[in-house]
Structure 1
Amino acid sequence: MITAIMFGIFLIFLGVGVPIAASVGWATLSVNLLDPSFACDAIYFVKTMANGMDSYVLLAVPLFMLSSSIMAESGLSGRLFNVFSYFFGNLPAGLPIAVVITCLFYGAICGSGPATVAAIGTMCIPLLTKLGYDKDFVTSMIAVAGGLGVIIPPSIPFITYGLCTGASIGDLFIAGFMPGLLIGLFIVFYVIYYFARHDNSNLCIEAYTQELRSKGFLRILKEGFWALLAPVIILGGIYGGIVSPTEAAGVSVVYALLIGVVAYREINFKKFIKCLVDTGHTATPVMLILGICIVFGRVLSMLRIPQTLATFVTSNIESKIAVLLAINLFLLVAGMLMDTIPCILILAPIFLPIVQAYNVDIVHFGILMTCNLAIGFVTPPIGTNLFVAQSLTKIPITRIAKHAVPFLAMFLVALLVITFVPSVSLWLPSVLSK
């Protein structure tokens, strides 16, 4: 009964628009209000929250956010796009393909879906629209491809999942590379199919491509070299065992400053202060949610909710396929209603004992969960990427979501492969561990 009331309070608060942190916090405290003998009173709540936030791992979250902000101000997205456009720009599908690849690379720098949409969309949507590409198509493509920012490492959701489950964040970073690449390939396949079936006579890409290529490959590579090197340094350090994910976050900040101030000379003191302020605005609510959800997870364990659910599911459902499909469906719906980080913090401790009972690897489930919730970036009513794309183009959110459906279909096909072929996620960690 207490469990039902706790989740009921959470859903009611969420439904009437109470911020997620307050909704989770009051739902957690309601257990003690209903049963004063329960250990989680206000003092326990504050102490557990403070102890949970005293974590070396959590330092990676604001550091990666700061690095992302500095790199966005440094203009890395434009330099990355020019490098890939040099190779594909003469094809009707070439520049959109270059956009998808740029999203992959930029995601490997910033670790954020909305940040990827903002950085790539600000530059690419006006450019491609000017060259004759359909604005709705380009906007929806970038909104979906931006979701790769939380799958391609470094990824803040991976850090969150590792924090609340005990999974190795380094292994999650390594495991996320192949699934992110697979989803990117499926999106590229649809782009090629789309332009193969449409009239492309209105595209004015020849002059743009000639202008780009007139600069010469070496000059384009020189301009984009430091941007291309960023994910190599960050991920190479983690994959090579040179730095931990938290140390890699610190390295990424230093590298971002070096290329922003020295290499590209785009960052001055005023812009750096702006980056610090923007990071503070972004990181503060995230860290607050993290702290409160840590307490919520402790209460779930004290009430033995995950263990009870795992016993119930395993006693009534024998099929591993059915369980994974049901969890995928639940996560897809949850991703539509809540942001990725609180979803992981609330649901991972509940679902993990269930999937482990069916011998699902803890790292594989982290990838599966993040991929599901990444789709929520482009699905109403939350759809953070949709709101970012709408702010850039003024296209109604419903129209962007409508044009995003084919891209989401490809995302879902890739998700099924990732779900039922664990080696897509686990092959690279097993190779690098040898």
Structure 2
Amino acid sequence: MLAPMLIGVLVLMLLAVPISISLGIASMIPFALNPGFAFDASMFLRNSLSGLNSTITIAIPLFVLSGIIMAKGKISEKLFNIFSYFIGNMPGGLPCAVVVTCLFYGAISGSAPATTAAVGAMTIPLLVSLGYELQFSAALVAVAGGLGVIIPPSIPFILYSSAVSGASVGSMFIAGIIPGLLIGAALMAVAVWYCKKHGEDTQKIQAHVRVLHDKGLVAVLLDSSWALLSPIIILGGIYGGFFTPTEAAAVSVIYSLIISLFVYRTLKLRDLMDVFAEAASTYAPILFIIATASAFGRVLTMTQAPQIIATTLGTAFPNKIALMIVINLFLLIVGMFMDTTPAILILAPILAPIVTAVGINPVHFGIIMVCNLAVGFITPPIGNNLYVASTLTKVPVMSLAKKVLPFMAAFLIVLVAIIFIPQISLVLVGA
């Protein structure tokens, strides 16, 4: 039963059938082949609905909504200004400020494409006006936008936590901090290297930073403080035990509305319907994927897929290091062809028990999995961040794909360290 299901999903995806429909059809294959199989249409509907009946999943649409409100409220501009004030005059300072802005904005939106769109729409034109190459600027934002799924709060972390026992949302959020910061530092190192190699228009850059300095640190800091407080309130509230991740998502929505409508006044009441409509259209596909993936996962369990795959991999790769190398290469390939949401919902319940059996902490594996899949945001044919950056700049996707290679190399070097040094992920968790 397992082989026809997996082949069915693969064929349907190759035929460009939406992933939610592909999973739904594949879930019914065992029953179609064997009417005695205890998973009929009523069971499919029951499991699909039960997959949505989770407090954790409520956080996803709320974080999506919060991210869109922040984007419309031009919060990324406020963040960029404060970082530019401090490091703008350094070699590669403004590109580094873009990376740091993505780090902070990722802690607001929880989404890689949303981070790329919000930060890129403001920073790419600015970098180009200051003499930076268009392709470099777009590639930088596309790669740094991937930090949106690693820096907490992260929607993929929430999905992984809902799919894998032993990995709470709070633990995943805490575990993602150091890996996200290390990847951000690696991207900044590449940006500095690139700027030193190709040069910068220091006169234009200094003139831009001088405008911020003329305003004064207090003015710039006050203007950016509300934006800087957002991740502090969200993450501090979770880690301090004041509210759960789901409650934090609700707080994030309320906070983003207040500062966008009444503090910065960059959003009007008449804009809210468009914001809600965009949030609904963004979350609706995720909703259907979660529902059908729950049913698909139930069928996999009934066909003993995790046990079969675990036995196969354990026999073929008895060595722990060899097993991890194979799984990580597999995840990198999956990330090229499948979006993060279905990849986690389909593969996490299968792979997590396998790696846990060889002594790998499920939280550590969650970080590994999300970081692997994050590389897929900048690799064709999926490469969502590349498409977002391409839409913003009209630069062909393949041209951007070539430009991101040095950044991708730095990303992968840090990923290898994360894989083989568990404490990078677990030191803050205390595991």
TM-score (norm 1): 0.97
The one-letter code sitting in structure 2 at the alignment partner of 1:355 is V
Q: Partners in 2 of 1:307 and 1:240 — Cα distance?
A: 38
Distance 1:61-1:338 versus aligned 2 partners, 3 A rule: same
AA paired with 1:130?
Answer: S
Q: Which residue of 2 aligns with 1:397?
A: 397
Specify the alignment match of 2:232 in structure 1: 232
**Equivalent pair of 1:111/1:156 in contact (CA under 8 Å):** yes
Question: What's the CA shift for 1:191?
Answer: 1.2
Spell out, residue by residue over 1:124-178, the C-alpha distance to the aligned partner (whole angstroms, 9 max, x if none): 0000100000111110010000000000000110110011112201100110111
Closer/same/farther in 2, CA of residues 183 and 107 from structure 1, 3 Å limit = same
RMSD: 1.1
| CA positional deviation for 1:285 | 0.7
Does the CA-based 8 Å contact 2:28-2:40 persist in structure 1?
yes
Partner in structure 2 of residue 310 of structure 1? 310
Number of the residue aligned with 1:85: 84
In 2, Cα distance between the equivalents of 1:54 and 1:256? 26
What CA distance in whole angstroms lies between the structure 1 residues aligned with 2:318 and 2:7? Answer: 29
How far, CA to CA, are the matches of 1:138 and 1:374 in structure 2? 19
1:247 is aligned to: 247
Report how many residues are paired.
430
* Structure 2 CA distance for aligned equivalents of residues 236 and 202 of structure 1: 38
- Structure 1 position 90, deviation (Å): 1.3
Q: CA deviation at 1:92?
A: 3.5
Contact (CA 8 Å) 1:96, 1:191: kept in 2 or not?
Answer: yes
**Paired residues for 1:28-427 under 5 Å:** 28-166=27-165, 167-201=167-201, 204-427=204-427
Give the percent of matched residue pairs that are identical in Structure 1 and Structure 2: 50
1-side partners of 2:201 and 2:175: how far apart?
Answer: 42
- Distance in 2 between the 1:203 and 1:331 partners? 45
Write the distance in 2 (CA, Å) between the matches of 1:137 and 1:283: 31
Q: Distance in 1 between matches of 2:153 and 2:389?
A: 22
The unaligned stretches of length 5 or more in structure 1 are none
1:382-419 Cα distance to aligned partner (Å, 9 max, x none): 11101100110000000001000100000000100100
Q: 1:81 to 1:201 in 2, by over 3 A?
A: closer
- Secondary structure (helix, strand or coil) at the match of 1:152 reads coil
Per the TM alignment, residue 200 of structure 1 is displaced from its structure 2 partner at its CA by: 2.7
Q: Name the CA distance, whole Å, in 2 between partners of 1:15 and 1:102.
A: 37
Q: Distance in 1 between matches of 2:124 and 2:360?
A: 40
2:261–2:269: 8 Å Cα contact kept in structure 1?
A: no
Range moving further from structure 2, 163-172 or 110-119: 163-172
Residue 11 of structure 1 pairs with residue 34 of structure 2: no
**How far apart in 2 are the matches of 1:202 and 1:19?**
48
Measure how far apart 1:54 and its partner are: 1.2
Instruction: Spell out, residue by residue over 1:223-266, the C-alpha distance to the aligned partner (whole angstroms, 9 max, x if none).
Output: 00000000000000111121111011011011111111121112
Contact 1:81 1:102 in 2 (8 A): yes
2: CA distance between counterparts of 1:201 and 1:25?
54
Following the alignment from structure 1 to structure 2, what is the Cα–Cα distance between the partners of residues 48 and 199?
57
| Structure 1 residue 203: Cα displacement | 6.2
Tell me the amino acid that sits aligned with residue 407 of structure 2: F
In structure 1, distance between residues paired with 2:95 and 2:334: 30
Change (3 A) 1:203 1:122: farther
Contact 2:144 2:184 (8 Å CA) reproduced: yes
Task: Report deviation, 1:318.
Answer: 2.6
- Partner residue, 1:27: 26
What is the CA distance between 1:21 and its match in structure 2?
A: 0.6
> Normalising to structure 2: TM-score of the pair?
0.98
Q: 1:267 to 1:117 in 2, by over 3 A?
A: same
Q: Does the CA-based 8 Å contact 1:92-1:203 persist in structure 2?
A: no
Question: In 1, Cα distance between the equivalents of 2:87 and 2:163?
Answer: 42
Distance in 1 (CA, whole Å) between partners of 2:240 and 2:35 is 51
| One-letter identity of the residue aligned with 1:165 | V
Q: Is the 8 A contact 1:131 1:204 kept in 2?
A: yes
